[in-house]
Structure 1
Amino acid sequence: MTADLGPWDPALPEAVRDLLAGVDAPWWVAGGYAIEYAVGTPFREHGDVDILMLHRDHLEAQRALPDWELWAADPPGTLRPWAPGEVLPAAVHDIWCRPAADSPWRFQFMLDESEGPEWVSRHHPRIRRPITDIGRVNADGIPYLRPEIQLLYKAKGRRPKDEQDFEKVLPLLDTEQRQWLHEAITTAYGDHPWLERIGGD
């Protein structure tokens, strides 16, 4: 989907924090940066910046970035302009963001589901947590996704960077986090190579 759609020049999370300062909805830095914040120190390069937002709140992205170009990723891989005020269907999980048509892409929103006060994983509706319990805030005031939840996403693809993130953050997870991750991966994917390492059953 990235072919012929222009280059990426990822923004730093601090810049995204400032851009979203007026957003009246929860959001969290996700992806590799979320793992890095949990570890507490940089350990690899990042090719993009992912921001998790609940689908119910996705119009807040337009209100926060009124002059930006925002493009929606329609399954199975069509990227198209997101019209002002358009309520995106539930199948859209990604929004690409850049300041102008001749600018590189800076970050993307990832949209997840919710039900009342609960976050609901799009990988399986039984996997859920209170919305107030899916993130933390680092010393720079940047909200980020809890590492056990981010590892649930990374367990699906198991790219080299996902394996690296898993190895780095796994020793820092406490018993409760490991138990949650073990159950969530089992529910979402069944048998998985990480389960034996995680323990928690």
Structure 2
Amino acid sequence: MTPGQVSEELPTGGIELSPAELDALPARWSSCWTPMEVAQRLAGVAAPWCVAAGWALDLFRGGQTREHGDIEIAIPAARFPEVRDRFPGYVFDAVGSGQIWENATPEVLAATHQTWLRDPATGDYLLDVFREPHDGETWICRHDPTIRLPYREIIHHTADGIPYLAPELVLLFKARHARPKDQADFDAVVPHLTLAGRTTLAELLARAHPGHRWLANL
């Protein structure tokens, strides 16, 4: 297995969420933090981390453009302890394939990549942490491990210092499912990409999702 990469086999002991529990999850995210709150809590952490997904696109564009049901950050998997140690009094639940492992053990963390920070006093979820495969200071795309880029190239910063994932990589992840909100994000963000960013996105899409419909618009 590549250094920093998680196993693809899910561990035993997870709780399978019922349809009703899945429907109730948005309410448990109603108190999630803003990017600025996350950045303040992680100030000084040496591990390369960045806001990901929809919030990253808003940070790229300079302001919030739509409601976000949660907030995600991405970190190198092996550097997770540096982030975890910033949240004493909270617990991390691992999630995957409709299951949840509360207060995940190291064994569970090694076999999953997504982690939700929970306030045990309220049951609310505050932060979604993606523990990404990597090789040292090189990020590895979990959907296509042939895509490898230095962290220094893929993490951008807002004027007030909040790190966020490069928009072309956010859109690359969104291309996998291309839900209505992903299509809306693509349509809104692409006009703001530089020529280099559009070229990079087209090249990565062609590698990871050959024939994807978004390629015609790049």
Whether the TM-score (by the shorter chain) exceeds 0.5 is yes
2:155 counterpart residue number: 135
1:8 counterpart residue number: 29
Match of 1:79 among 97, 100, 105: 100
| TM-fit CA distance, 1:140 | 2.3
Match of 2:47 among 2, 21, 25: 25
**Cα distance in 2 for residues equivalent to 1:37 and 1:7:** 24
Q: Secondary structure at the match of 2:176?
A: helix
| TM-fit CA distance, 1:101 | 4.4
Q: Secondary structure at the match of 1:110?
A: strand
Which shifted more, 116-125 or 147-156?
A: 116-125
Which shifted more, 124-133 or 5-14?
A: 5-14
Q: Secondary structure at the match of 1:129?
A: strand
2:178 aligned with 1:149 = no
Aligned ranges 1:56-71 → 2 under 5 Å:
56-71=78-93
Amino acid corresponding to residue 144 of structure 2 in structure 1:
H
TM-score relative to the length of structure 1: 0.89
- Contact 2:93-2:103 at 8 Å conserved across structures: yes
Q: Secondary structure at the match of 2:173?
A: helix
Aligned ranges 1:1-201 → 2 under 5 Å:
1=17, 3=22, 7-9=28-30, 10-73=32-95, 75-83=96-104, 88-89=109-110, 91-198=111-218
Amino acid corresponding to residue 27 of structure 1 in structure 2:
W
Which shifted more, 96-105 or 46-55?
A: 96-105
TM-score relative to the length of structure 2: 0.82
Query: What stretches of structure 2 of length at least 5 have no aligned partner?
Result: 1-16
**Cα distance in 1 for residues equivalent to 2:107 and 2:86:** 15
Query: What stretches of structure 1 of length at least 5 have no aligned partner?
Result: none
2:3 counterpart residue number: none
- Contact 2:93-2:117 at 8 Å conserved across structures: yes
- Aligned CA distance change for structure 1 residues 11 and 115 (closer, same or farther; 3 Å): same
Moved over 6 A (4+): none
Percent of aligned pairs sharing the same letter: 37
**Cα distance in 2 for residues equivalent to 1:39 and 1:138:** 9
**Cα distance in 2 for residues equivalent to 1:190 and 1:175:** 21
Q: Secondary structure at the match of 1:70?
A: strand
Amino acid corresponding to residue 95 of structure 1 in structure 2:
T
Amino acid corresponding to residue 101 of structure 2 in structure 1:
R
| TM-fit CA distance, 1:86 | 5.6
